[in-house]
Structure 1
Amino acid sequence: AGPSLLEFRYAYLASGIAGVLSLVVALSVLRGDKVQEKGRGLKEAYRKFTSGIKEVISDRNVVITSAMEGLQNLTVGALEAFLPIYAVTVAGLNEFQAGLLWGVQVIVTILSKPVMGKTSDRHGRKSLISVGIVLCAVSFGAIPLLQSFYSLMLAAIIFGLGESFVTSSSAALVADICKEKHFGTAMGTFGTIFDIGHATGPILAGFLLASHSYLFSFWVMSALLLLATPVFVLTVTVNNPKGNTP
């Protein structure tokens, strides 16, 4: 038998408590003594906002780099929604094993991000993003071919590594590209595309799975990542002041 409604309530209650505690810690750590600048008026703020948006969305490098992060998060959202379902209903794993697969992927991503960020500082962003996208595409596409717990865990680990390659480098690359005066606008655009990709992943995967197999559905999404990689490599150009290879 599956978990009861009460057990779900306990799990979500624990998550909620953890979230509130995180908020309390963040507020205490981020509390600053900086004096806020006086506003320049609504009209001036709106003018600066629209100017920044126009400049950012007209920058091919920023848009394509953000799109790569969005595509990678397409698969993250799909895995988040359907890996546990696949693990239980197709691979025959129990609920704990299904949750552990996703947990391992997240832990690998968290632990490897600092290392990948430092690597991108030294060796450039583009190569790490490209390798990360390929790792995510291959491991994501391999999941419907696997049914044992350990093989699925290996795929989850590789996916987590690929995700850390992309996420640690793409935001940094956008920061390298954009002008300082529109830094916030560029990062906001990046975050929006990030969220769109993450939200679209479960929707697209669910739409495909409604009429196709896991293999077909996952391979279609993997193909999107693989097809986007050469576009990113060939179209994004970066003048790196540190001399690193982009």
Structure 2
Amino acid sequence: MGAVRFYHGFATAAFGPVAMATIAAFSSKNTGQNLSLYSSATLIGRALAPTVGGIMYEIGGYTSVYIIAGIAGILALFAAIWFFRKPGEVEDKEITQSKRDEANELTFFKKLRAVLTYRPLLLVGILDACAYFAYGAFEMTFPLYAKQLGMSTGEIGILLGVQLVGMVLFKPLFGRASDRLGRLPMAIIGLLTCALSFLFLSILKSTLAIIPLIVVYGLGFALVTASTSALAADVARRGQLGASLGILSTIMDIGQTLGPPAIGAISDTYSYSTGIIVLGIVLLLAAIGCIIALLKQHPPTQLV
């Protein structure tokens, strides 16, 4: 089972950046919108999977769950083969051109080093890591904090479900807005929205106040993540789109992994409110970093 789980994780990690790079490569002016549609589709799948898996387990046990998962994977494979099918003559020309290009390219390790040391991409990765650091920590902290304030398990589940629906519906719209208005301005608005939501959550103890704040935080998070993937595609060097999005995904995962233990330790030592305040400060600092980057792109004299 360990080997199967490793293989599954490896395949999942390989699929994400390649799928995003493909979407970005096919997109000309609507990169943010198209990447956000992909992200929303992913969120829908992740939301439905536990429910479908639970139903199938009740019907036929573990075997039926894995059969359904296998069928879904095979259907996705055939869909990808159909989507990428090309006439033989066109494919031969593209392969020939690709081989010519590869002869002039850097070796794999030099290319990887170039991506890892490319500052614009690393800055986008740090921004994404901050957003997912807060998201991962908040997913762990909020249910416990809400329980402490007297909310029932059902109320917490409904609230988080409403937040997820809001993210799924609005993310493509935010991606489209980032195509029109720019990535950094949208990311700044999203980060400030999330930071203020956390700061108010730590102060206001009323259930009636928490409900809109959770929804607003979800929309702010959707604003940030709708911008960062497209921004990574924008700053990626020619021929390094897949590697750039792969690095971004890795940095994002690191942030999401570190969030729960770090904020959990702070919450245990002090309180849940303190942990949420720290999350707000992290996102506020990220917003300040984005503002500095935006001012470097467009000095104040150009903004007047």
> Same fold per TM (> 0.5)?
yes
Which sits farther off after the overlay, 213-222 or 15-24? Answer: 15-24
TM superposition shift of 1:107? 1.2
Alpha-carbon contact 1:97-1:149 (below 8 Å) kept? no
Describe the SS at the equivalent of 1:210.
helix
Gaps of 5+ in 2: 1-49, 58-64
Of 106, 110, 128, 1:51 maps to 110
TM superposition shift of 1:11? 8.9
Residue 146 of structure 1 corresponds to 204
TM superposition shift of 1:186? 0.5
Residue 61 of structure 1 corresponds to 120
Alpha-carbon contact 1:69-1:194 (below 8 Å) kept? yes
Q: Which amino acid aligns with 1:70?
A: A
Alpha-carbon contact 1:80-1:102 (below 8 Å) kept? no
Which sits farther off after the overlay, 64-73 or 148-157? Answer: 148-157
Of 222, 228, 232, 2:290 maps to 232
Alpha-carbon contact 2:267-2:273 (below 8 Å) kept? no
CA–CA distance in 2 between the matches of 1:132 and 1:234?
16
Cα shift readout 1:198-237 (whole Å, capped 9, x = no counterpart): 1111111111112011222211221121122222332366
Of 276, 300, 304, 1:218 maps to 276
Residue 96 of structure 1 corresponds to 154
Describe the SS at the equivalent of 1:180.
coil
Residue 85 of structure 1 corresponds to 144
CA–CA distance in 2 between the matches of 1:143 and 1:25?
43
Cα shift readout 1:87-126 (whole Å, capped 9, x = no counterpart): 12x1111111111222122111111111011101111100
Alpha-carbon contact 2:194-2:221 (below 8 Å) kept? yes
The answer as to 2:220 corresponding to 1:162 is yes
Gaps of 5+ in 1: 1-8, 240-244
Residue 54 of structure 2 corresponds to 13
Residue 26 of structure 1 corresponds to 76
CA–CA distance in 2 between the matches of 1:192 and 1:146?
35
Q: Tell me how many residue pairs correspond in the alignment.
A: 227
What TM-score, normalized by structure 1, do the two folds share? 0.80
CA–CA distance in 2 between the matches of 1:221 and 1:48?
40
Of 180, 183, 206, 2:264 maps to 206
Percent identical: 27
More helix as a share of residues? 2
CA–CA distance in 2 between the matches of 1:147 and 1:179?
47
TM superposition shift of 1:142? 2.3
What TM-score, normalized by structure 2, do the two folds share? 0.66
CA–CA distance in 1 between the matches of 2:122 and 2:54?
38
Residue 118 of structure 1 corresponds to 176
TM superposition shift of 1:147? 3.6
Change in CA separation of 1:15 and 1:69 when aligned onto 2, cut-off 3 Å: farther
Describe the SS at the equivalent of 1:92.
coil
CA–CA distance in 2 between the matches of 1:151 and 1:58?
44
TM superposition shift of 1:13? 2.4
TM superposition shift of 1:84? 1.3
Q: Which amino acid aligns with 1:179?
A: R
Q: Which amino acid aligns with 2:54?
A: L
TM superposition shift of 1:171? 0.8
Residue 71 of structure 1 corresponds to 130
Residue 13 of structure 2 corresponds to none
TM superposition shift of 1:146? 3.4
Q: Which has the larger radius of gyration?
A: 2
Alpha-carbon contact 1:61-1:235 (below 8 Å) kept? no
